[in-house]
Amino acid sequence: MVDDIIAKSKPKQTLKEHTEKLLENYQVLKESYLISLDANDWEILRQACLFHDFGKANEYFQSRIKGQGNLSQRLNFPHNFLSVAFIPEDDELLIRLVAFHHWRNVLSYQNVDLKTIHQGMGRYLPKINEYFRKNYELLKFYIFKKRIERLEDYYQRRMDQSFSLEREKRFVILLGLLNRLDHASSAGVPVEKGRLEKFSIIKEKLLQKTPCPWQLKEFKDQYRQQNGVIVASTGLGKTEMGLLWSGGEKTFYTLPVRTSVNAIFDRLVGYFGNENVGLLHSDAFGKTLLGVGEEGETDDALVHYDTAKNLSFPLTVATADQVFTSALKFLGFEKIYATLSYSKIVVDEIQAYSPATVAIIVRALHEVQKLGGKYLVLTATLPPIIKNHLEYDFYVERIPNLEKHRVELVSAEISSQVIKLVEKFWGKKILIVCNTVRKAQEVYRILKDQLSRLERHNTEDYRTEKIPLVLFHSCFTSWDKREKERIVLDQKFVGILVATQVVEVSLDIDFDVLLTELAPPEVLIQRMGRIYRRYKEDGVYTPREPNVYIFTENPSGIGPVYESEIISKTRSFLQDGVLSERRKLQIVNQFYSEENLKDTRYFTLFSNALELLENYNANSRDEAQQIFRGMDCVSVLPSSFLKSPIQNPFLLKRLRLPQGTLLESALIGINHEDRAQRMLGYELIKDFLVPIRTWALQKTERTDLSSLVNNNLFRGILVVDGTYDEEGFKIGIRDHKNLTSLEREAFWDGIV
């Protein structure tokens, strides 16, 4: 009899151990009573758990996983397809579940010796029967081969034709659950962590603040099992309303950007504890690592990270791309949809997305609703063009009788008047928002050149403090962004923040005066939401002179960022004077009516995206995320950083590196065999990456990082030339003359 059949190498698990772990998690899922399947589907899922890895009992896989040398590629055939040779029943659903728990193209394995592989599996049967105390048999080869041919045909139809969720509902849900059971068992985490009753906890928190919170007054018991929309002004507690609605159900809370996700995550951990709240975004491990603190173990952070990745927490906070890309039907989307089918989804700040991205979110919400999930949209403004495409049962509006913004329209470019207004409001907290990185850098340079003069002037008057000047946009490293956030989020901060759209939904800041370029109405309202944020309830708090200045001449970003039709239409909706919270909502409702937008690119993009999604399948998750984000960009490592000292003391301590260690030497020493080291190495790199436009890579020298540090762990990370200073990263273009005028404009406008 053969030795043990190995299923996993890190940590090492036999086929028996891994399968039993899967079946244990299956019982956990079944007894959680979170999801309702009929008895037949539960049994099919159980059998899929049992058979899914039997195909690993083959010569090629066992030789490779045991490190016993490489056999001929003619004996290499994916174990998920080989597993169907052990299934006695001719149940097509069960066969597909086992075969496609890993999505692989059968056609790419046409040169294998399938008959020899099949015969070789026979010698493992006694060990399998010993493991599971049952007499399994291999299908006769011709029957097995016909199954493979049917699976090949199914795969091709799945790739070549539009995917019918209605027709494939059972397959999607069961395959997604099987994937979660497999991934959880491999990672050593539970498939579900149980229920979290959020209503009573949030109710108590709200009553501690006020005896009659509006959220409790507005909430009705029937809302719990309905889809809904909550429109409420910034800072009024929409998050708490969403948590009341979610009750004891499994919940996903989504937001547009990582900074706001991190802020909500911290808030929810304060409510419910770290053990009940997961975090999902591209930098989630780094945030989780910070959460365990300097004395916590890296393995503790990995467990929390793996539990979140497997969607196992009762409450998960995520960037929207982690959830709604599933609407693009990439291979593997089933894991997300299966989980959402018995979950509640809170969509916060839906107005902050591009029209094509909103269309993807709307599509996902419709489909999840059909699968059994529920959703709640939270927003300060809900454009009618979006509202008209949502299917909701209740609508709650909470707009206070509040006046806190007085607007002045300035017929000039922002750079021509910025010094004058900064001098006027010297000593106040001043927020300056530009539409592009290039314009923000220009304004920053003007202010930097003139601030010393203003400081001398005001010192002679009555102020002695040095006014901080901070520039904040996307083309800084993660480390520098965090440092800038720390400065401006300090309640004692009094100074000037020059920024791009990154502040609109990412930073919970409260400033006194806003200077902004002209932008679409909902964007301007988001920017105004950072001024006098401290005033939230009914009342008149508007100053005698304006605290919002909108510069209407030659705003940057027309074309690359905002379409010209939208900007020109926006100007006609604005006027000088007091702008109440109610009036803001009216402007958005009027502006984003289908009648007003019917001839704009915004309307075309939204409508076309909805139509295209009916028949679109993405080739991969990466492609789906790139489409969702709507950004043709890539993160790169500026070459100068390789010789830079690591600034992050937290990571230095984790990696046991001395202060002053250069990035290059640290990366060379990362052990790719150690998962904790690998993850820490990725976090180290993230501190130094900056985004650039993908097409710009063709215009500059680039090198793969793995070749520079002799470590394949960093394969695919590109190192490029350029300058990095207090204004951010500027890529080194080989020949600017080769740029078209449109490319030059788009490049220097940068990523907002």
Are residues 584 and 489 part of one domain?
Answer: yes
Q: Which residue has the tokens 């006194």?
A: 512
Q: Are residues 69 and 157 in the same domain?
A: yes
Residue with tokens 């979170």: 34
Euclidean distance between the first and final Cα of the chain, in Å?
63
- Quote the CA–CA distance of 80 and 52 in Å, as a whole number: 6
Domain final position from 398, 425, 450 = 398
Total tally of structural domains belonging to the chain: 4
Q: pLDDT tens digit string along 577-622? A: 999 999 999 999 999 998 898 888 888 888 998 888 888 888 888 8
Contacts of 157 (CB under 8 A, 6+ apart): none
One domain for residues 19 and 59: yes
Q: For residue 407, list its beta bridge partners.
A: 548, 577
Residue 682 to residue 285: CA distance in whole angstroms: 9
Does 354 share its domain with 234? yes
Give me 78's structure tokens. Answer: 């994916």
Whether 125 maps to a domain, the answer reads yes
In DSSP notation, 610-635 reads: HHHGGG---SSHHHHHHHHHT--EEE
Residue 355 lies in a domain: yes
Q: Are 647 and 599 in contact (CB under 8 A)?
A: no
- CA 203, 206, 208, 211 torsion-angle sign: negative
Q: What is d(CA 499, CA 62) in angstroms, rounded to the nearest whole number? A: 56
Q: For 413-422, how does the pLDDT look when each residue is reduced to its tens digit (9 = 90+)? A: 999 999 999 9
- Any idea what the Cα angle at residue 29 is, between residues 27 and 35, rounded to 5°? 130
- Placement of tokens 């015969």 in the chain: 119
- Give the Cα separation of 532 and 511 in Å (integer): 6
* 408 DSSP β-pair partners: 549
Categorize the per-residue pLDDT at 127 as very low, low, confident or very high, splitting at 50, 70 and 90: very high
Q: Is residue 613 part of a domain?
A: no
Hey, CA dihedral for 417, 423, 424, 425, is it positive or negative? Answer: positive
Residue 562 · residue 522 · CB < 8 Å: no
CA 457, CA 146: separation in Å to the nearest integer? 87
* Residue 703: pLDDT over 50: yes
Backbone angles phi, psi at 130, to 5 degrees: -65, -45
Supply the pLDDT for residue 62: 92
> Using one digit for the tens of pLDDT, what is the confidence trace for 439-480?
999 999 999 988 877 666 555 444 445 789 999 998 899 899
Domain edge (last residue) among 555, 580, 597 = 597
How far is CA 397 from its chain centroid?
28
**Do 175 and 210 share a structural domain?**
no
Confidence of residue 239 (pLDDT cuts 50, 70, 90): very high
The CATH number given to whatever domain includes residue 63 is 1.10.3210.30
Give kind and range of the element (H or E) at residue 653.
helix 649-654
With respect to residue 603, please indicate whether it lies within any of the assigned structural domains: no
Strand partners, 691: 635
What one-character-per-residue DSSP string does 294-362 give?
Answer: TTS-HHHHHHHHHHHHTT-SSEEEEETHHHHGGGG--TTTHHHHHHHTTSEEEEE-GGGS-HHHHHHHH
Q: Which one, of 309, 285, 313, lies nearest residue 298 by Cα? A: 285
Measured distance CA(362)–CA(367) in Å, rounded? 9
Q: How far is Cα 526 from Cα 363, in angstroms, rounded to an integer? A: 25
277-280/402-410 β-pairing: unpaired
18-70: pLDDT as tens digits = 999 999 999 999 999 899 999 999 999 999 999 999 999 999 999 999 888 77
CATH number of the domain residue 213 falls in: 3.40.50.300
Q: Are residues 380 and 490 in the same domain?
A: no
146 and 220 co-located in one domain: no
Assigned domain for 562 exists: yes
Which of these, 112, 27, 119, lies nearest to 74 by C-alpha position?
Answer: 112
* Gap between the Cα atoms of 399 and 289, Å rounded: 39
Q: DSSP alpha helices (H): ranges in 497-542?
A: 502-506, 521-528
Pick the last residue of a domain from 398, 424, 443.
398
Is 93 within a domain?
yes
CB-CB neighbours of 515 under 10 Å: 24
Is residue 471 domain-resident?
yes
Token pair, residue 14, equals 């036999």
CB within 8 A of 366, min separation 6: which ones? 391
Tell me the residue range of the domain where 79 lies.
Answer: 6-187
pLDDT in tens, 468-525: 999 999 889 989 998 999 999 888 899 999 999 888 876 788 999 999 999 999 999 9
Pair (169, 252) in one structural domain: no
169/204 same-domain check: no
Q: Are residues 386 and 414 in the same domain?
A: no
Q: Which helix (H) or strand (E) holds 650?
A: helix 649-654
Nearest to 485 by CA among 471, 475, 495: 471
The verdict on 532 and 639 lying in the same domain is no
Six-digit token pair at 181? 């059971």
Segment among 492-496, 530-534, 557-561 with least mean pLDDT: 557-561
For the segment 640-645, the average pLDDT, to the nearest whole number, is: 93
CB-facing half-sphere around the CA of 466: CA atoms within 13 A: 5
In a domain, 626, yes or no: no
Asked if residue 296 has pLDDT above 90, the reply is no
| CA dihedral over 373, 379, 384, 385, signed as positive or negative | negative
Mean pLDDT estimate for the chain: 90
**10 and 89 co-located in one domain:** yes
What confidence score (pLDDT) does residue 105 get? Answer: 82
Tokens of 93: 């659903």
- Residue 451 in tokens: 């601030």
> What is the DSSP code (8-state) at residue 563?
-
**CA 31 to the chain's CA centroid:** 30
- Distance, in Å, from the CA atom of 695 to the CA atom of 728, rounded to the nearest integer, reads 19
Report the run of H or E that residue 460 belongs to, with start and end.
helix 437-461
Rounded Cα–Cα distance for residues 21 and 54 (Å): 14
Amino acid letter, residue 521: P
Q: Which one, of 232, 150, 211, 261, lies nearest residue 537 by Cα? A: 232
